[in-house]
Structure formats: structure tokens, C-alpha cells
Amino acid sequence: MRKWVFIINNWNSTSLEVKKKYCRKGIPQQFRRKVWRLFLLGTKGAKGKAAERGKPYSYYSELPLEDTQLEGVIERDLDRTFPTHRKFDSGANGEGQQALRRMLRAYANYNRGVGYCQGMGFLAATLLLQINEEERAFWCFCSLMEEEEYNLKSLYEPGFPMLQCYFSVFEGLMKKTNKKVYHHVREVHGVESSYYATHWFLTLFTYYLNFGLISRIWDMFLCEGWKIIFRFALALLKIDQQRLLGAATETELLMVLKDIQENKEPAKMLDVSLKIKFTTKYMNKLKKSYLDSQQRKK
């Protein structure tokens, strides 16, 4: 506890290694809001971010949408984003859905090239729940989408360029770290990761997993970046390896993959995911080789 107070008070001078070590242990809930904000907004906070990005939140949230089709898409998704959560279940005029509507519209205005895409609501809602103050939550969301180390916007852009790249990286890592499963899933049954991992990557696991586990994953993701997401994706396959290998047909395999994220023990998930070994260098190599091959196609 005292360590966290020290880290928070000395954020800029604390090394990434120290942050990483403590984030892996889990940020205590009473500090989580503050630490997530520090990762996403830096020490200057929401005001600093707003200044950096040019215009205040109210400007972006109140501006009419340029692409009017998005209006309907956002509206239809509001009560389909964590529909059973207390904060969002009281209808389109409930406080939670109103805040979510404004955040999504604000981002669509902030980055018109990305606009709104289904899945983004789960990220915005997760931040709204954890940060608990709309304007700050919005700037955190904006950082998650825009900042180099997270760069979710590159996944959501039309054509999903980075999502496609991450499917390829993920399959490469699967091949390296769990050959048996790779062979069975990818080679024998031809099941591509896009069939089952799309929402893992687009919503950073928030689509299915419970909040306790999501918080632990995000603690590490905000500190270490995408490597953590790949680790957890690989851990899901690893934990259910026997069920996957036992599936005799494509249909059986798909049914195992369909609910593979359900009923996962957080302690087990954390333990398995951190034991999966691959280097950042190798991950980056896979990424580069995919991007190079795309470049050549052009």
C-alpha cells in the first residue's frame, strides 16, 4: 500500500520496471482509478490532455455527427453494451447510457476517420465504470484509442488493419508457444483466429470476462501494452488445451472456442498467462513481417 502511495506521488520518476512489477501484482482497488488515469493521462490529468488535443470535451460531445448513419448505430448499441450491468440497464435515458452516448459521439467527432465502430462502446463503458467521471473517462478513452502504445484506433479503422495484423501475430505466437493446439486448430480444422478472437482484441477482453479479471488484465496492459493481451489470449487456449485437442470436428472445435472465456479462475489465468514465454523482439518481428507482406501486396 505504502509503495503505491510512493509510486503515485513520484509517477514520472518511477521506472517502468517498478511499475510493471507492482501492476502484475494487481493495483489495489482504492488506487486503481488514480493509476489508470496516470497511465492514460499523465500527471497533467484530463485538463492537460484536453489542452494537448485542442478542444474541450463539451465541444466534441455536443457537435452533431458528420456521418449521420453512425447516429443510429451508436443508439442501437447503448443498451447492448453491458446490458446487465446496473449502471447501463436503466434504458436510453439512464445516466450510464447518456454518458456513454456522449463519450462515443465525442470520439466520433474527435477522430472522424475512425468514427464509431461496434466494440468501442465496451472500452468506453469499462473506463466509465472505473474512472467514474465522464469527462476524465472520455480523455482516458481517447488516449486508449490514440496513444502509440495502445493505439486501439488502428484496430477499428475501416478495414481493421491492425486487427488483421494482430490475428497474424497471435497465430504466430500460438505456433511458437503451443504447437499442438496451433496444429489442431489452425492446420487440421482451418479455424482462423478471426472466428473467435475478434472481440478479445477489439474490446480487450471486456466483452466476456468478469470485471475482477478485466481489471487485473488492464492493470498490466496499461503498463506493458499489447504483449499482455497476447499472453492472456494464449492462456485461454492453454488452459482448455485438452478440450480443444479433443474436438473431433470443426463444429465441436468452434463450440469449445465459443465459450472458452467463460468461468475462468482469475488466479489461474494470471498464473498461466505470465508463464507463457516469448520475447517482445519475436512479437515485433511477427508484426513487422505481416506489415511488410501487406506493403508488398500494395
Partner 1 sequence: MSSNPTPAKKQLLKIIILGDSGVGKTSLMHQFVSKKFDSRYKATIGADFLTKELTVGDQVVSLQIWDTAGQERFQSLGSAFYRGADACVLVYDVTVQESFAHVGSWMEEFSIQAGRRDSVLIGNKTDLEDRRQVPTRTAQMWCDKQNAEGDKNDKTEMKYFETSARENTGVEEAFMAVAAAALARKASQPAPVPPPSTVNLNQNQPGNAGGSNNTNSGCSC
Q: Which is nearer to partner 1, 41 or 257 (CB)?
A: 257
Enumerate residues 253-292 that contact partner 1 by CB under 8 A: 254-255, 258
Please give the distance of CA 161 from its chain centroid, rounded to a whole number.
16
Q: What angle do CA 268, 273, 279 make, to 5 degrees?
A: 165
Q: How far is CA 205 from CA 187, 201, 221, in A?
A: 25, 7, 11
What are residue 208's phi and psi, to 5 degrees?
-115, -40
Q: How far is the CB of 254 from partner 1 (least distance, A)?
A: 6
Enumerate residues 86-115 that contact partner 1 by CB under 8 A: 89
Q: Which is nearer to partner 1, 46 or 103 (CB)?
A: 103
Sole binder of partner 1 in the list 251, 262, 263, 296 (CB under 8 A): 251
Confirm or reject binding of residue 166 to partner 1 (CB under 8 A): no
Confirm or reject binding of residue 119 to partner 1 (CB under 8 A): yes
Distance from C-alpha of 283 to C-alpha of 285, rounded to nearest angstrom? 5
Binding part of the chain for partner 1, among 5-13, 16-24, 28-36, 243-251 by CB under 8 A, reads 243-251
Q: How far is the CB of 40 from partner 1 (least distance, A)?
A: 22
Confirm or reject binding of residue 158 to partner 1 (CB under 8 A): yes
Q: How far is the CB of 97 from partner 1 (least distance, A)?
A: 13
Q: How far is the CB of 140 from partner 1 (least distance, A)?
A: 21
Sole binder of partner 1 in the list 9, 15, 84, 93 (CB under 8 A): 84
Q: How far is the CB of 297 from partner 1 (least distance, A)?
A: 15
Q: Which H, E and C letters describe the chain, residue by residue?
A: CHHHHHHHHCHHHCCHHHHHHHHHHCCCHHHHHHHHHHHHHCCCHHHHHHHHHCCCHHHHHHCCCCCHHHHHHHHHHHCCCCCCCHHHCCCCCCHHHHHHHHHHHHHHHHCCCCCCCCCHHHHHHHHHHHHCCHHHHHHHHHHHHHCCCCCCHHHHCCCCHHHHHHHHHHHHHHHHHCHHHHHHHHHHCCCCHHHHCHHHHHCCCCCCCCHHHHHHHHHHHHHHCHHHHHHHHHHHHHHCHHHHHHCCCHHHHHHHHHCCCCCCCHHHHHHHHHHCCCCHHHHHHHHHHHHHHHHHHC
Q: Which is nearer to partner 1, 4 or 157 (CB)?
A: 157
Q: How far is the CB of 138 from partner 1 (least distance, A)?
A: 20
Q: Which is nearer to partner 1, 254 or 291 (CB)?
A: 254
* End-to-end Cα separation, the chain, in angstroms: 52
Cell 446487465, located at residue: 84
Sole binder of partner 1 in the list 111, 118, 151, 154 (CB under 8 A): 118
Sole binder of partner 1 in the list 7, 100, 103, 191 (CB under 8 A): 191
Confirm or reject binding of residue 77 to partner 1 (CB under 8 A): yes
Confirm or reject binding of residue 192 to partner 1 (CB under 8 A): yes
Binding part of the chain for partner 1, among 15-23, 202-210, 219-227, 262-270 by CB under 8 A, reads 202-210
Confirm or reject binding of residue 25 to partner 1 (CB under 8 A): no
Residues near partner 1 (CB under 8 A) are 72-73, 76-77, 79-84, 89, 117-119, 121-122, 158-160, 163, 189-192, 194-195, 198-199, 202-203, 207, 249-251, 254-255, 258
